[in-house]
A and B are shown apart, each in its own frame.
Chain A
Amino acid sequence: MKEQIICRDASLGYENMTVASGIDFTVKEGDYLCILGENGSGKSTLIKTILGLKSVESGSIEWCGGLTPDKIGYLPQQTVVQRDFPASVMEIVLSGCLTMGGLRPFYSSGQKQLAQENIERLGIENLSKRCYRELSGGQQQRVLLARALCAASKALLLDEPVTGLDPKAQTDLYELIKDLNKSGITIIMVSHDVNAAVKYASHILHMGHKSQLFFGSCDEYVQSDIGASFIASESLIDSAPEKPKPVSGEGFGAVLAPCVPLAAAAAASAIISGILRSKGRKNKWAR
């Protein structure tokens, strides 16, 4: 397997503030890398740095094995500008095919067909003439994913792809990404969902506060101390008694009431961190 991205002791940051340092990993063709970590640990910054949207402060991130920007797809977090943007779904998905055409001023029928295929793949063909700003958060997410798929011929980078999706849609999305990965596309995904990460990914990169805590294959991660404790704290939230599956941050408050005191005490720290995290997620969404 050819190496596609080699990251050597890289430091990431905004302006003069270092967000994370000592990042060191390798991505090979066909890998499924999941980047885990708390809010503020620099996961999104890492994705942006890999993509060349930000420069590395020190160390290096190299692309090799024929990987070039026009062969990758990217699912960013949504920006404020996009939320009231007057554009039809078809126009947005088509814009993912843009780099294939070079300097040609119009889209070819091949590009239009590719866009149509990806729209169907994500089950949004009934929305293709609708206006992007009138869609729900989850629908918008699928539109952006369809666009990313149009651009991804070798690798796909996703920044928290399941944000705003309901559980069923989350599972569909994970399955879709798995299929893509099987067809040979390298996946790099930032996620909060450690259970899904362990289930689907081939490699895990766990980022802690200002440094890298773990990089290795998924099996090694599950057996490592850091992995075990992170999975345990996450599954405690998921398996709390009488608790509906959390869909949004509001769910957590309601969960506290029916909990027996003992379980509540044990789960409290995990839940609070969960609330904090979901609040942070909202802030990020608004940024």
Chain B
Amino acid sequence: MGEIIDKLSLYFSYPFVRYALIVGLMIALCSSLLGVTLVLKRFSFIGDGLSHVAFGAISIASVLPVMIKDIAAGVSTSGEVPQSIKKLADLIADANNNYIVLPITLLAAVLLLRPGKNARIKGDAAVAMISVGSLAVGYMLMNRFPSSSNISGDVCSTLFGSTSILTLKREDVRLCLVMAIAVILIFLLFYHKIFAVTFDENFAKATGVRADGYNLLIAVITALIIVLAMNLVGSLLISALIIFPSLSAMRLFKSFRGVILCSAVISVICAGFGIIASILLSTPVGSTIVIADMTVFFLFCIAGKVTKRA
């Protein structure tokens, strides 16, 4: 026991570990808040699709500097890369990936969740198409323009999250914190409108609530959360963070507010537990959190069955 505490206090003496923990908890809180709405609107799959889009976007962002240099070298007659292009490539390499990933994911979210269901290709097929498409493009780009010698390592960490939360950069942490606070504020301010739009879009629209606007807002927040959560759990596991806490909460709670509060608590506890366990056991952060979420889901399932019978 003393060993564990020693190890933890050693880790938490570094400020970036503390920041990482805070960010992890904030991300978990955000994703669980919105998860309830997404699950109830039958949009769970869209979170998954968007996370694949984010994977494609992140691979574009990471290969862009290499790609620019490669293409420039091919075009110029001497085979040398001009100085100005080299500078541009370095600038992009230094910039935070999120500045490229966020706009692309936002655009995809707005396209997928846009109002009006008379699109040519129906919802789930469109989501499946976009998600596998961007996976393929992303992997192709990473393979063709490797930004480091360890391609499979890069791909793996994008898909399943950093192997350790300690690799989170300080700037990532700051950006995450700002976005997470924004998401929570928006959610609190528009809570009742989000409820109305989730429960009955037609009624809301008919009685003068600007449902399309709020749907757009939901799409934008979803994209924000996915980009945020990608740092923590990687793109393949984001859906788990969104879906599990709200589904667990729905087993036991019967009011919308109860479900939201409960899923927030579950998500934060599981994320905290997962992060600490991953430090102690040297397991990947993302999967540890998701397994914690899964365990809670099964416990709540059983509890739900028991209380219903009683």
Q: Which residues of A contact B (CB under 8 A)?
A: 15, 48, 51-53, 68-70, 72-74, 76, 79, 81-82, 85-88, 91-92, 94-96, 98-99, 105-107, 130-131, 133-134, 147-148, 151, 157
Contact = CB atoms under 8 A, between A and B. Distances in A.
B300 interface: no
Contacts of A134: 254
A98 B256 contact: no
Would you call the interface of chain A mostly helix, strand, loop, or mixed? mixed
19 contacts: A15-B118, A51-B205, A53-B205, A68-B208, A70-B207, A74-B203, A85-B40, A85-B199, A86-B40, A86-B254, A87-B256, A88-B254, A88-B255, A88-B256, A95-B196, A99-B207, A105-B190, A131-B255, A134-B254
B207 A91 contact: no
Contacts of B253: 86
Given A99-B207, A99-B209, A82 B199 contact: yes
B295 interface: no
7 closest residue pairs by CB, A with B: A69-B208, A131-B254, A70-B208, A88-B255, A51-B206, A74-B206, A95-B196
Contacts of A74: 202-203, 206-207
Contacts of B205: 51-53
Given A87-B256, A88-B254, A72 B200 contact: no
B257 interface: yes
A86 B255 contact: yes
B259 interface: yes
A98 B257 CA distance: 16
A231 B207 CA distance: 34
B144 interface: no
B101 to A, nearest CB: 30
Contact of B192 (A85, A88, A105): A105
Contact of A91 (B40, B42, B190, B195): B195
Contacts of B42: 81
Nearest to A50: B206
A68 B207 CA distance: 8
Interface of B: 40-42, 118, 188-193, 195-196, 199-200, 202-209, 250, 253-259
B193 A98 contact: yes
A207 to B, nearest CB: 20
Contacts of A52: 205-206
Contacts of A131: 254-255
Contacts of A53: 202, 205-206
A98 B254 contact: no
Contacts, number: 94
Contact of B207 (A81, A96, A105): A96
Contacts of A79: 200, 202
Nearest to A91: B256
A86 B206 contact: no
Given A86-B250, A98-B196, A105 B191 contact: yes
B190 A69 contact: no
Contacts of B199: 81-82, 85, 87, 92, 95
A30 B182 CA distance: 46
Contacts of A157: 206
A131 B192 CA distance: 17
A72 B40 contact: no
Contacts of A96: 203, 207
Contacts of B188: 105
A98 B202 CA distance: 14
A153 to B, nearest CB: 10
A69 B203 CA distance: 10
A68 B41 CA distance: 27
A69 B206 contact: yes
Contacts of A99: 207-209
